[in-house]
Amino acid sequence: MEAYFSEAAAVVDRALLAGERHATWFSAEESDFVRMNRGKVRQPGRVVQRYLDIRLIRGARHATHSLSLSGDLAVDTRTIADAVAGLRSALPELADDPHLLLPSTVESSRTMRGGDLPSAEAMVDTILAAANGHDLVGLLAAGPVYRGFCNSEGQRNWHATTTFNLQWSLYHRADKAIKSAYAGFAWDDAELRRRMGSAVDQLALISRPPKSLPAGRYRAYLAPGAMEEIASLLCWGGFSARALATQQSSLAKMKSDARLDPRIAISEDTRGGVAPAFQAEGFARPAQVPLIAEGALVGSLVSPRTAREFELRANGANAREMPEALAMAGGALPERDALAALDTGLAIGNLWYLNYSDRPACRMTGMTRFATFWVENGRIVAPVDVLRFDDTIYRMLGDKLEALTAERELLLESSTYGSRMLTSTTVPGALLSELQFTL
Q: Are residues 232 and 196 in the same domain?
A: no
Instruction: Decide: 325 and 268 in contact? Cβ < 8 Å.
Output: yes
Using alpha carbons, select from 76, 29, 32 the residue that is nearest to residue 54. 76
Domain that holds residue 266: 216-437
Average pLDDT over residues 383-392: 96
Instruction: Decide: 286 and 315 in contact? Cβ < 8 Å.
Output: yes
pLDDT tens for 243-265 read: 999 999 999 999 999 999 999 99
Confidence of residue 266 (pLDDT cuts 50, 70, 90): very high
* pLDDT given for residue 308 in this prediction: 96
CA dist 184 → 162, 172, 354, 428 (Å): 9, 27, 25, 16
Q: What are phi and psi of 44, to 5 degrees?
A: -90, 150
Domain count, the chain: 2
Q: Are residues 338 and 258 in the same domain?
A: yes
Q: Are residues 162 and 291 in the same domain?
A: no
* pLDDT given for residue 173 in this prediction: 83
pLDDT at 174 over 80: no
Say how far apart CA 168 and CA 170 lie, in whole Å. Answer: 7
| Strand, helix or coil for residue 360 | coil
Average pLDDT over residues 28-32: 97
Say how far apart CA 232 and CA 247 lie, in whole Å. Answer: 19
**Which among 206, 227, 256 is the end of a domain?**
206
Average pLDDT over residues 165-187: 92
Instruction: Decide: 58 and 89 in contact? Cβ < 8 Å.
Output: no
Do the domain assignments include residue 54?
yes
Q: Are residues 176 and 252 in the same domain?
A: no
Q: Are residues 77 and 183 in the same domain?
A: yes
pLDDT at 146 over 80: yes
Q: Are residues 221 and 187 in the same domain?
A: no
Average pLDDT over residues 372-380: 96
Q: Are residues 194 and 280 in the same domain?
A: no
* pLDDT given for residue 370 in this prediction: 81
Q: Please list, in sequence order, all residues whose beta carbon lies within 8 angstroms of the beta carbon of residue 113, skipping any fewer than 6 positions away.
A: 159, 160, 161, 162, 185, 274
pLDDT at 115 over 90: no
Instruction: Decide: 305 and 101 in contact? Cβ < 8 Å.
Output: yes
Q: Are residues 202 and 221 in the same domain?
A: no
Say how far apart CA 436 and CA 439 lie, in whole Å. Answer: 10
Q: For 174-274, where are the E strands, in sequence order?
A: 176-184, 216-222, 266-268
**Which among 206, 236, 267 is the end of a domain?**
206
Q: Are residues 192 and 222 in the same domain?
A: no
Q: What is the CATH number of the domain that holds 15?
A: 3.30.2290.10
Instruction: Decide: 127 and 35 in contact? Cβ < 8 Å.
Output: no
Tell me what the pLDDT averaged over the chain comes to: 96
Q: Are residues 166 and 288 in the same domain?
A: no
pLDDT tens for 337-370 read: 999 999 999 999 999 999 999 999 999 999 998 8
| Strand, helix or coil for residue 197 | helix
Instruction: Decide: 314 and 297 in contact? Cβ < 8 Å.
Output: no
**Which among 165, 187, 206 is the end of a domain?**
206
Do the domain assignments include residue 316?
yes
Do the domain assignments include residue 275?
yes
Q: Are residues 162 and 303 in the same domain?
A: no
For 313, other C-beta atoms within 10 Å of its C-beta total 7
Do the domain assignments include residue 181?
yes
* pLDDT given for residue 305 in this prediction: 97
Q: Are residues 233 and 149 in the same domain?
A: no
CA dist 322 → 74, 198, 224, 413 (Å): 37, 33, 20, 13
pLDDT at 415 over 90: no
For 68, other C-beta atoms within 10 Å of its C-beta total 10
Do the domain assignments include residue 211?
no
pLDDT at 175 over 80: no
Q: Considering the entire predicted model, what is its pTM?
A: 0.94
pLDDT tens for 77-93 read: 999 999 999 999 999 99
Do the domain assignments include residue 45?
yes
Average pLDDT over residues 23-47: 96
Do the domain assignments include residue 420?
yes
